[in-house]
Structure 1
């Protein structure tokens, strides 16, 4: 069993395509397919179900994938640790974030990190807070920035709180509430809302606040993309509760203070198994030290 075979399996699993996996790995598809077939023969089980329309993991493949990721990550970390020992930051820096992260200017931080450490490989993905926590636990990303209700704290990872913000109401300029300076949750409960999907951390902070006040509300529009959420609000289709620092970057919106608004805490998280050299250098750049 070879590390390169594991890399090929991971690439196919993530792209759901042998063709796209070969492109990502910079090899011809026949070579990638041959190496995966060799690995399947060695393991005595098929890792993928292949049809003319799609590729997906078999139960054996689902069981194999986490261990394969751990092996590849361990090998990459070993090489990065050796480089760090001689004063060079190499290896992977995979960062995850929620769309409304505001405590850190991520593009500026990544630009400075790349300037200081040009041999490190940077990647960035956007997702929901709960998913980002799981990705850090599984070693799929090294560092993540997320937001959760102040009553919660990311579990199974090292977490540092960066900021707390009271959410504000955002409406279109021609909305009846647009001229108000402040409202409360009871007044807002009669409005139609645009929000993140139910059971996500970003949605929970608002749901918990309304429930604590003994109120219910109608969320008619559930979206995963914060920019699209803002577009729906701008079209006059509903009201949203958003962090003020994120709202500051939106044009053409009316912002209203909410007297009993929910509060969001922003965290940076990384693995309990320790910070990889690239992750450690990135967090050091941000002034975040490991205790």
Structure 2
């Protein structure tokens, strides 16, 4: 058994297709099939169930896959640690971020990081805070920018607190509440609202704020990004509660403060066992980040 065989088997397991797996491993399909056959012969089991239409993992393959990934990840980490000890940071850096993030620009920080460490491949994606935290904990994401309620725990991650910000009411131009002084959650409760999916960290902090105020809210639209929230509000279909710094950057809508608004805390989080690339990114960020003035 060797690393090439493991890599080929993992590629087939993830691609569910021998042709795509061969292209991913940069070998011809016959060579990949030979590697798989040798590995299965050594293990004494069939890892895959093949048909004319699809490739799926056998029961033995299901048990094999996480262990094989762990071995390959371990080898990658060894190579990256040795390179870092020689002064070279390489590998892959995966950064996750909320879509509603105004006080930090992840692209700008990746640009600074790439200038200093051009040998690192970067991946950037958006997600909910709950998913991002899970991905950092399970190692599929190196660093993430998340926003949670101020009293929420992060659990099993390293973190740096970046800021706290209140949510404001996001309204379409000409809305009847646009000139109302001292908006409260009670003022907003009768309005149709757009928010993130139920159970998400962003949704929970707003739901809990309404609950504490003793009023119900009516969520008519559930979406997955700040862009969708903005477009729905702009069309006059609903109102929303969004972070104040994000609202200031949006066109075609107006924002108004809320006297009993919920507040969120924004953090950068990373694994407690960071890769050299993650360590370098965190160090760069710590040295250069300037917190925004707090109101």
Report the TM-score when normalising by structure 1.
Answer: 0.87
Cα distance 1:277–1:258, how it changes in 2: closer, same or farther (>3 A)? Answer: same
Distance 1:249 1:158 in 2: 30
- The match for 1:217 is 217
Query: Following the alignment from structure 1 to structure 2, what is the Cα–Cα distance between the partners of residues 117 and 31?
Result: 35
Aligned to 1:84: 84
Any conservation in 1 of the 2:165–2:264 contact (CA below 8 Å)?
yes
Q: Rg bigger for which structure?
A: 2
Could you list the per-position Cα deviations for residues 133-183 of structure 1 after superposition, in whole angstroms to 9, with x for gaps in the alignment? 221122112111111111212112112221111011111113222333541
User: Does structure 2 conserve the Cα–Cα contact (< 8 Å) formed by 1:66 and 1:138?
Assistant: no
Deviation string 1:261-289 (CA, Å, 9 cap, x unpaired) is 1111111111122x221111111111169
Q: 1:115 to 1:238 in 2, by over 3 A?
A: same
Q: Does 1:46 align with 2:47?
A: yes
1:46, distance to aligned residue in structure 2 (A): 3.4
Kept in 2, the 8 Å contact 1:70–1:139? The answer is no
Using the TM superposition, name which of 260-269 and 30-39 deviates more.
30-39
C-alpha displacement of 1:87: 1.0
**3-state SS of paired residue (1:122):** strand
Distance 2:248 2:21 in 1: 40
| Aligned-partner Cα distance in 1 for 2:282–2:153 | 19
- Asked if structure 2 preserves the Cα contact closer than 8 Å seen for 1:12 and 1:18, the reply is yes
Greater shift, 158-167 or 190-199, is seen at 158-167
Any stretches of 5+ residues in structure 2 without a counterpart?
289-295
Secondary structure of 1:159's counterpart equals strand
Aligned twin of 1:103: 103
Distance 2:49 2:177 in 1: 54
**Where do 1:265-280 residues align within 5 Å?**
265-273=265-273, 275-280=274-279
CA contact (8 A) 1:49 1:58 kept: no
- CA shift at 1:96, angstroms? 1.2
TM normalised by structure 2 equals 0.85
For the structure 1 residues 40 and 147, does the alpha-carbon distance in structure 2 shift closer, same or farther, using more than 3 Å as the test? farther
Q: 1:43 to 1:238 in 2, by over 3 A?
A: farther
**Do 1:172 and 1:253's aligned partners in 2 also have CA atoms closer than 8 Å?**
yes
Deviation at 1:249, TM superposition (A): 2.2
Match of 2:257, SS?
A: strand
| Count of residues in correspondence between the two structures | 287
Q: The residue matched to 1:286 in structure 2 has which SS?
A: helix
Deviations 1:189-231 (A, max 9, x none): 1111111101111111101111111221111111112212211
Which residue of the partner structure matches residue 248 of structure 1?
248
The structure-2 alpha-carbon separation of the partners of 1:32 and 1:86, relative to structure 1 and needing over 3 Å to count, comes to same
Cα deviation for residue 16 of structure 1 reads 5.6
- The equivalent of 1:264 in structure 2 is 264
Does the CA-based 8 Å contact 1:174-1:236 persist in structure 2?
no
Residue in 1 aligned with 2:285?
286
| CA-to-aligned-CA distance 1:7-61 (integer Å, 9 cap, x gap) | 4455556556555554444444554455455545527253577673x66656655
Report the aligned-residue RMSD: 2.7
